Amino acid sequence: MKGHYAYPPDEFDAAAQEERPRGVHRAPRSWWSRWGALVAVVVIFPLLAFGAVTWLSSWQGTQDDEPIAGAPLDDEPEATEPAEPTEPEGTDEEPVEETPTEEPTPEEPALPEPDLTASVIVLNATNTSGLASGGAARLQEAGFTTVTSGNWQGQDPPASVVYYADAADEGTAAEVATALGITAVEQSDDVDRVTAVLWTDYQPQ
């Protein structure tokens, strides 16, 4: 074949005749060298972009929350001057204290005037001798002019008492009771005049 080559040999033909490898066998490429760029574009870059957007959003929100210097806050109430207290009208006059009105107690009707000339009898309801006569003497000393004495024939009283029959004699019966030191004065239909009945509680002079 070389005898049929029509051109004279040159430096390229000389290089071609040197004994050396005609080609180079490359080692097989790794997975990362073949797909690393694609992974970076598809996965890493979107993650970085998402992180950058999130950081910018949070930073912008912080800037918006900071109040501007000198600007009044919305939640801060405006300071108002306290209103001066006004005095109610008519405070110069002292209040008048109302005193509770007490209901008047009904007065007891006045007793009739005692009649010292009325007939009065003193009766002894005990077994003590001379008790009635001693009581009659006390009434005479008190001013009574018509006084007699005797023994009580009725039921024994619970205590010494002065009876009267007519309401007009109530004042006289009360005066007799006072003179003899007796507290009980009663109206009774069993007597016909002012009658003092002396029982064991009677204290003679």
Q: What is the CATH number of the domain that holds 154?
A: 3.30.70.2390
pLDDT at site 95 = 65
Tens of pLDDT, residue by residue over 9-59, are: 666 555 555 555 555 555 566 666 666 666 666 667 777 777 777 877 776
Q: Which residues pair with 123 in a beta bridge?
A: 150, 197
91: helix, coil or strand?
coil
Residue 169 lies in a domain: yes
Residue 146 lies in a domain: yes
Residue 49 lies in a domain: no
Q: What is the pTM of this model?
A: 0.49
How long, in residues, is the chain?
A: 205
Look at the block and give the residue holding tokens 């006004």: 86
Mean pLDDT of the chain, nearest integer: 77
Residue 42 lies in a domain: no
Residue 164 lies in a domain: yes
Residue 191 lies in a domain: yes
Tens of pLDDT, residue by residue over 143-165, are: 999 999 999 998 999 999 999 99
Q: Of all residues in the chain, what percent carry a pLDDT higher than 90?
A: 43
Are 148 and 175 contacting, i.e. CB atoms less than 8 angstroms apart?
A: no
176 pLDDT higher than 90: yes
Residue 184 buriedness (CB in 10 A; 0-12 / 13-18 / 19+)? middle
H runs (alpha helix) in 66-121? none
Say how many domains are in the chain: 1
> Whole domain around residue 161: which residue ranges?
122-198
Tens of pLDDT, residue by residue over 80-100, are: 666 666 665 655 566 666 776
